[in-house]
Amino acid sequence: MGDLAAPNTAKRPSDQLSKIINFNVYIFEIPAGKIGLLDDIWRMLHVWPLQFNDYDAFCANLFSAGFGQIRMWTKISALLRDAGAKKTPTVSLLLSEGQADDLIVARLYREQPIFYTSTGGSMEGATIGPGTLSLRIKVEKIPGSRGVCNVRVHPVFSPPMMSSIPQLAARAKAGELDFICAGFRLKMSPGDFFLLAPKEYISDQMTLGSLFFTKSKSSSSAVKPERKPAIRVFLVVCTSINV
Protein backbone atom coordinates (compact mmCIF):
# COMPACT_ATOMS: atom_id res chain seq x y z
CA MET A 1 0.00 0.00 0.00
CA GLY A 2 2.84 2.34 -0.89
CA ASP A 3 2.85 5.56 -2.82
CA LEU A 4 0.98 5.79 -6.08
CA ALA A 5 3.11 5.24 -9.16
CA ALA A 6 4.66 8.33 -10.69
CA PRO A 7 3.15 9.71 -13.90
CA ASN A 8 3.92 7.62 -16.95
CA THR A 9 7.02 9.08 -18.62
CA ALA A 10 7.76 6.33 -21.13
CA LYS A 11 9.16 7.75 -24.35
CA ARG A 12 6.83 7.83 -27.31
CA PRO A 13 6.93 9.48 -30.72
CA SER A 14 6.26 13.20 -30.23
CA ASP A 15 3.22 13.19 -32.50
CA GLN A 16 1.60 10.48 -30.37
CA LEU A 17 2.73 11.86 -27.00
CA SER A 18 1.07 15.17 -27.78
CA LYS A 19 -2.30 13.46 -28.07
CA ILE A 20 -2.26 11.10 -25.07
CA ILE A 21 -4.16 11.27 -21.78
CA ASN A 22 -2.89 8.76 -19.19
CA PHE A 23 -4.73 7.20 -16.26
CA ASN A 24 -3.49 4.72 -13.70
CA VAL A 25 -6.18 2.50 -12.17
CA TYR A 26 -5.60 0.94 -8.77
CA ILE A 27 -8.01 -1.79 -7.67
CA PHE A 28 -8.19 -2.71 -4.00
CA GLU A 29 -9.95 -5.71 -2.51
CA ILE A 30 -11.36 -5.21 0.98
CA PRO A 31 -12.99 -7.86 3.20
CA ALA A 32 -16.73 -7.34 2.82
CA GLY A 33 -17.20 -7.19 6.56
CA LYS A 34 -15.05 -4.07 6.78
CA ILE A 35 -16.91 -1.94 4.26
CA GLY A 36 -18.00 0.40 7.03
CA LEU A 37 -14.39 1.57 7.41
CA LEU A 38 -14.71 3.32 4.03
CA ASP A 39 -16.91 5.96 5.68
CA ASP A 40 -13.79 7.75 6.96
CA ILE A 41 -12.49 7.95 3.37
CA TRP A 42 -15.76 9.35 2.02
CA ARG A 43 -15.57 12.15 4.60
CA MET A 44 -12.24 13.23 3.06
CA LEU A 45 -13.42 13.26 -0.54
CA HIS A 46 -15.61 15.70 -2.48
CA VAL A 47 -18.81 14.97 -4.38
CA TRP A 48 -19.43 18.41 -5.90
CA PRO A 49 -16.96 17.95 -8.85
CA LEU A 50 -18.97 14.92 -10.02
CA GLN A 51 -21.90 15.48 -12.36
CA PHE A 52 -24.12 12.40 -12.14
CA ASN A 53 -26.29 11.27 -15.01
CA ASP A 54 -28.99 10.56 -12.41
CA TYR A 55 -27.88 10.90 -8.79
CA ASP A 56 -30.89 9.04 -7.37
CA ALA A 57 -30.37 6.09 -9.72
CA PHE A 58 -26.63 6.10 -9.00
CA CYS A 59 -27.34 5.75 -5.28
CA ALA A 60 -30.16 3.25 -5.78
CA ASN A 61 -27.69 0.98 -7.60
CA LEU A 62 -25.51 1.17 -4.44
CA PHE A 63 -22.64 3.04 -6.14
CA SER A 64 -20.57 5.62 -4.26
CA ALA A 65 -17.97 7.99 -5.72
CA GLY A 66 -15.77 10.82 -4.54
CA PHE A 67 -13.14 13.18 -5.95
CA GLY A 68 -9.71 13.89 -4.48
CA GLN A 69 -6.11 14.82 -5.24
CA ILE A 70 -2.85 12.96 -4.77
CA ARG A 71 -1.81 15.09 -1.78
CA MET A 72 -4.56 13.25 0.15
CA TRP A 73 -3.16 9.82 -0.65
CA THR A 74 -1.08 9.23 2.50
CA LYS A 75 -4.14 9.46 4.74
CA ILE A 76 -6.34 7.47 2.39
CA SER A 77 -3.81 4.65 2.03
CA ALA A 78 -3.58 4.39 5.83
CA LEU A 79 -7.36 4.01 6.04
CA LEU A 80 -7.31 1.34 3.33
CA ARG A 81 -4.66 -0.55 5.27
CA ASP A 82 -6.87 -0.40 8.35
CA ALA A 83 -9.65 -1.97 6.28
CA GLY A 84 -7.38 -4.85 5.25
CA ALA A 85 -7.16 -3.77 1.60
CA LYS A 86 -5.05 -5.72 -0.85
CA LYS A 87 -3.93 -4.02 -4.08
CA THR A 88 -4.12 -5.89 -7.38
CA PRO A 89 -1.78 -5.08 -10.30
CA THR A 90 -2.06 -1.50 -11.55
CA VAL A 91 -3.73 -0.91 -14.91
CA SER A 92 -2.56 1.91 -17.16
CA LEU A 93 -4.95 3.44 -19.69
CA LEU A 94 -3.60 5.56 -22.55
CA LEU A 95 -6.42 7.39 -24.30
CA SER A 96 -6.54 9.72 -27.25
CA GLU A 97 -8.89 12.70 -27.17
CA GLY A 98 -12.43 11.53 -27.84
CA GLN A 99 -11.50 7.88 -27.27
CA ALA A 100 -13.04 5.48 -24.76
CA ASP A 101 -11.47 2.44 -23.14
CA ASP A 102 -12.93 -0.31 -20.99
CA LEU A 103 -11.52 -1.47 -17.67
CA ILE A 104 -12.71 -5.06 -17.31
CA VAL A 105 -14.26 -5.62 -13.89
CA ALA A 106 -15.80 -9.09 -14.21
CA ARG A 107 -15.92 -11.83 -16.83
CA LEU A 108 -19.21 -13.66 -17.29
CA TYR A 109 -18.98 -17.16 -18.70
CA ARG A 110 -22.68 -17.92 -18.98
CA GLU A 111 -26.03 -16.15 -19.17
CA GLN A 112 -27.38 -14.67 -15.97
CA PRO A 113 -30.03 -12.15 -14.93
CA ILE A 114 -29.13 -8.68 -13.72
CA PHE A 115 -31.37 -6.07 -12.11
CA TYR A 116 -30.71 -2.36 -11.84
CA THR A 117 -32.43 0.96 -11.25
CA SER A 118 -32.58 2.83 -14.53
CA THR A 119 -32.44 6.56 -15.14
CA GLY A 120 -35.81 7.81 -13.99
CA GLY A 121 -36.03 5.40 -11.05
CA SER A 122 -37.71 2.30 -12.47
CA MET A 123 -36.40 -1.20 -11.73
CA GLU A 124 -35.18 -2.97 -14.88
CA GLY A 125 -34.01 -6.49 -15.59
CA ALA A 126 -31.93 -8.02 -18.36
CA THR A 127 -30.12 -11.23 -19.22
CA ILE A 128 -26.42 -10.79 -19.86
CA GLY A 129 -23.50 -13.10 -20.60
CA PRO A 130 -21.26 -14.45 -21.72
CA GLY A 131 -19.07 -11.37 -21.98
CA THR A 132 -17.51 -8.75 -19.75
CA LEU A 133 -18.73 -6.16 -17.28
CA SER A 134 -16.46 -3.12 -17.51
CA LEU A 135 -16.00 0.47 -16.46
CA ARG A 136 -15.95 2.58 -19.61
CA ILE A 137 -13.84 5.74 -19.42
CA LYS A 138 -14.00 8.35 -22.16
CA VAL A 139 -11.97 11.56 -22.37
CA GLU A 140 -12.79 14.76 -24.23
CA LYS A 141 -10.67 17.86 -24.71
CA ILE A 142 -12.02 21.13 -23.34
CA PRO A 143 -11.68 23.73 -26.12
CA GLY A 144 -9.28 26.50 -25.18
CA SER A 145 -7.99 24.70 -22.07
CA ARG A 146 -4.71 22.88 -21.48
CA GLY A 147 -3.91 20.42 -18.73
CA VAL A 148 -7.54 19.58 -18.07
CA CYS A 149 -10.06 17.29 -19.78
CA ASN A 150 -13.62 16.09 -19.45
CA VAL A 151 -13.94 12.48 -18.28
CA ARG A 152 -17.10 10.41 -18.68
CA VAL A 153 -17.54 7.16 -16.76
CA HIS A 154 -20.20 4.43 -16.71
CA PRO A 155 -20.45 0.63 -16.40
CA VAL A 156 -21.11 -1.38 -19.54
CA PHE A 157 -21.71 -5.01 -20.43
CA SER A 158 -20.11 -6.16 -23.70
CA PRO A 159 -20.62 -9.51 -25.46
CA PRO A 160 -17.52 -11.32 -26.75
CA MET A 161 -15.79 -9.59 -29.67
CA MET A 162 -14.82 -12.62 -31.73
CA SER A 163 -14.42 -11.14 -35.18
CA SER A 164 -12.12 -8.62 -36.82
CA ILE A 165 -14.64 -8.16 -39.64
CA PRO A 166 -16.04 -4.63 -39.16
CA GLN A 167 -19.67 -5.61 -39.80
CA LEU A 168 -19.58 -8.47 -37.29
CA ALA A 169 -17.68 -6.40 -34.73
CA ALA A 170 -20.28 -3.64 -35.07
CA ARG A 171 -23.05 -6.19 -34.54
CA ALA A 172 -21.38 -7.37 -31.31
CA LYS A 173 -21.00 -3.76 -30.15
CA ALA A 174 -24.70 -3.23 -30.83
CA GLY A 175 -25.35 -5.96 -28.25
CA GLU A 176 -23.76 -3.89 -25.47
CA LEU A 177 -25.78 -2.76 -22.49
CA ASP A 178 -24.75 0.67 -21.19
CA PHE A 179 -25.59 1.35 -17.56
CA ILE A 180 -25.80 5.11 -17.97
CA CYS A 181 -27.81 5.16 -14.74
CA ALA A 182 -24.59 4.54 -12.78
CA GLY A 183 -22.48 7.03 -14.71
CA PHE A 184 -21.05 10.47 -14.08
CA ARG A 185 -18.67 13.01 -15.60
CA LEU A 186 -16.06 15.35 -14.20
CA LYS A 187 -13.12 17.55 -15.13
CA MET A 188 -9.69 16.13 -14.32
CA SER A 189 -6.11 17.43 -14.31
CA PRO A 190 -2.89 15.50 -13.56
CA GLY A 191 -2.92 14.50 -9.89
CA ASP A 192 -6.72 14.35 -9.65
CA PHE A 193 -8.47 11.07 -8.92
CA PHE A 194 -11.89 9.63 -8.30
CA LEU A 195 -12.71 6.73 -6.01
CA LEU A 196 -15.50 4.33 -6.92
CA ALA A 197 -16.82 1.80 -4.39
CA PRO A 198 -20.06 0.15 -3.25
CA LYS A 199 -22.42 1.94 -0.90
CA GLU A 200 -22.98 -1.34 0.94
CA TYR A 201 -22.21 -5.03 0.55
CA ILE A 202 -24.76 -7.28 -1.17
CA SER A 203 -23.82 -10.84 -1.99
CA ASP A 204 -26.61 -11.84 -4.40
CA GLN A 205 -24.53 -11.28 -7.59
CA MET A 206 -27.77 -10.43 -9.44
CA THR A 207 -27.83 -6.64 -9.08
CA LEU A 208 -25.59 -4.21 -10.92
CA GLY A 209 -23.91 -3.01 -7.74
CA SER A 210 -23.22 -6.48 -6.36
CA LEU A 211 -21.92 -7.86 -9.65
CA PHE A 212 -19.73 -4.82 -10.26
CA PHE A 213 -18.15 -4.54 -6.82
CA THR A 214 -18.28 -7.95 -5.16
CA LYS A 215 -15.51 -10.48 -5.54
CA SER A 216 -17.36 -13.61 -4.49
CA LYS A 217 -15.78 -16.39 -2.49
CA SER A 218 -14.25 -19.30 -4.33
CA SER A 219 -15.47 -22.85 -3.87
CA SER A 220 -13.68 -24.76 -1.17
CA SER A 221 -11.17 -27.45 -2.03
CA ALA A 222 -8.71 -29.74 -0.32
CA VAL A 223 -5.83 -27.65 -1.61
CA LYS A 224 -6.93 -24.03 -1.16
CA PRO A 225 -8.92 -22.64 1.77
CA GLU A 226 -12.23 -20.97 1.02
CA ARG A 227 -11.79 -17.29 0.16
CA LYS A 228 -13.95 -14.89 2.10
CA PRO A 229 -16.07 -12.44 0.05
CA ALA A 230 -14.44 -9.13 -0.73
CA ILE A 231 -15.47 -5.85 -2.31
CA ARG A 232 -13.60 -3.99 -5.04
CA VAL A 233 -12.63 -0.34 -4.71
CA PHE A 234 -11.43 1.51 -7.82
CA LEU A 235 -9.04 4.45 -7.66
CA VAL A 236 -8.62 6.16 -11.06
CA VAL A 237 -5.78 8.69 -11.18
CA CYS A 238 -5.08 11.11 -14.02
CA THR A 239 -1.28 11.12 -14.38
CA SER A 240 -0.73 13.21 -17.52
CA ILE A 241 -2.60 15.18 -20.17
CA ASN A 242 -0.95 16.04 -23.47
CA VAL A 243 -3.64 17.34 -25.81
Break the chain into its structural domains and give their ranges. 20-241
Question: How far apart, in whole angstroms, are the C-alpha atoms of residue 49 and residue 67?
Answer: 7
Residue 62 has a CB neighbour count (10 Å cut-off) of: 21
Q: Which residue has the higher pLDDT, 12 or 112?
A: 112
What pLDDT score does 239 carry? 95
pLDDT at 108: 94
The closest of 3, 206, 184 to 111, measured between CA atoms, is 206
Count of CB atoms situated within 10 Å of the CB of 63: 23
pLDDT tens track for 186-230? 999 999 999 999 999 988 879 999 999 998 654 344 445 566 889
Q: pLDDT at position 46, please?
A: 97
Model confidence pLDDT, tens digit, residues 11-58? 444 444 457 899 999 999 999 999 999 999 999 999 999 999 999 999
Q: Is the pLDDT of residue 171 over 90?
A: no
Distance CA(178)–CA(136), nearest Å, equals: 9
* pLDDT beyond 50 at 169: no
End-to-end distance of the chain based on CA atoms, in angstroms? 31
**Amino acid identity, residue 65?**
A
Q: Which 8-state DSSP code applies to residue 120?
A: T
Helical (H) or strand (E) element with 168: helix 166-174
pLDDT computed for residue 18 by the predictor: 54
Contacts of 80 (CB under 8 A, 6+ apart): 1, 28, 30, 41, 233
What is the DSSP secondary structure assignment for residue 85, as one 8-state letter?
-
In three-state secondary structure terms, 14 is: helix
- CA distance linking residue 92 with residue 81, whole number of Å: 23
Q: Which residues contact 69 (CB under 8 A, 6 or more apart)?
A: 191, 192, 193
Question: Considering the chain, what is the average pLDDT of its residues?
Answer: 86
CB 169 within 8 A of CB 162: no
